[in-house]
Amino acid sequence: MKVLKFGGTSVGSAARIKGLLDIVNPSERQIVVLSAVAGTTNALVEIGQAYSAGKKDEAKDLIKQHKDKYEDLIKELFNTEAGYKNGKELIDYHFNLISSLANELFTPIEEKIILAQGELLSTTLWHFYLNEIGVSSVLLPALDFMKIDEDNEPMVEYIGEKLGHILAQYPDNSLFITQGYICRNSFGEIDNLRRGGSDYTASLIGAAIRADEVQIWTDIDGMHNNDPRVVKGTTPIAHLSFDEAAELAYFGAKILHPQSVFPAQKYNVPVRLLNTMEPNAKGTLISKDGAQKGCIRAIAAKDGITAIHIHSSRMLLAYGFLRRVFEIFERYKTPIDMITTSEVAVSLTIDDTTNLTDIIKEVEDFGTVTVDGEQTIVCVVGDFGLNSHGYAARVLDAVKHLPVRMISYGGSDFNVSILLNSDHKTEALRSLHNRLF
């Protein structure tokens, strides 16, 4: 069995929803994971924010605006009166549910209920459309089997057991549809896998049922060797290893959510990145044996980085110093991206500044602290193992004309990362591309 995930742009209009059948073969046993229709999640976030701020009239206007878009969508999607009636009743139900939350005490629980409506709409609308044209499908509510534990970690074995039991009830069906992104938490409440979570859903399902392959369908023909938005002449990469793909996804390759690599890697389920707009393009295959020795594969950049530099004479010959510093970030649940150290200083980077003020206040107990915002990590992925020679020098030579804030090399066999001011990102990407490719 395969798992196919389609993102918001792939279901962004009635024509594209209908066009899914150009890719999905109803006779092949598969699970199709759908994101919300393009623009829906952002609209639902705005509605939730209005409710949180007590702006019920603003929320009411936003709900009407977005419901009107779905009214237009179903007029194009369905060709029969019965089909349109089903679609109309569906959107009425979901938007009435959202409207009813104006009468509730609005908490994060209600916010997550609102955010779940996008995927519930997109999957049911496609299921209804397939029924209208006589294509058999089974709608699998993700809330029946997708679950996270008290640490917000997916329960892969639970997912596999529950989903396996559900699938066994439909031995004669081949096409199954479910929602990306949404799940239940350890209390049984509606929750989600955060942004990009539909990729994660597909990977988790693939891992849980030991799928033959997970396919991530987007609007890009695979993972490119640089950012095509700012660099000319980029090309898709035919084959990557799980480790290489994880590095690129984490450090800025937008086509794939970083977390989605790990379940597939753990259970050795290949992941293929494909283009809905060009279904015949080869895309990128990610598997355990995708690494190539003696070459550089790709470049990615991650914006929104904050650098923190701690200078302290107490570091000199002191054991336990770094542990005490890192414990501060752990308490505030703030991940660290890059780290460099010297005898009397440590520099590190974070991308979540939610608790930055409190973190800095505690870190200042250890020494002098300098904070630089608006930074970018540029990551070069390739063969940087013990037996490779000269690649790190080529990377640094390509950016020698730019002021580099930090360099991370040696922590991974697949990655050299540099930190610089975000103003220099485009120049760094282009210069690296010209020098390395």
Known binding-site residue numbers: 5-8, 41, 119, 218-219, 229
CA 51 remoteness from chain centre:
26
Tokens of 417: 């990362």
Residues 6+ apart with CB under 8 A from 435: 394, 397, 398
Q: Hey, what are 67's tokens?
A: 């419901």
Total Cβ atoms within 10 A of residue 94: 19
Residue 23 tokens read as 């890719």
- Binding-site residues for substrate sit at 41, 119
CA 93 to chain centroid = 29
* 8-state DSSP, 236: B
Structural contact between residues 303 and 422, judged by C-beta atoms closer than 8 angstroms: yes
- Could you list the beta-strand ranges (E) of 278-367: 284-287, 296-311, 339-341, 345-350
Q: Greatest CA span in the chain, whole angstroms?
A: 78
Q: Which residues are annotated as a binding site for ATP?
A: 5-8, 218-219, 229
Distances (CA, A) of 65 to 45, 71, 116, 144: 14, 10, 18, 31
Which ranges in 133-211 belong to alpha helices (H)? 156-168, 197-208
Distance, in Å, from the CA atom of 321 to the CA atom of 32, rounded to the nearest integer, reads: 49
Give the rounded distance of the alpha carbon of 262 from its chain centre: 12
**Which amino acid, 184?**
R
Retrieve residue 436's tokens.
Answer: 């390395």
Residue 77: enclosing H or E segment and its boundaries? helix 56-77
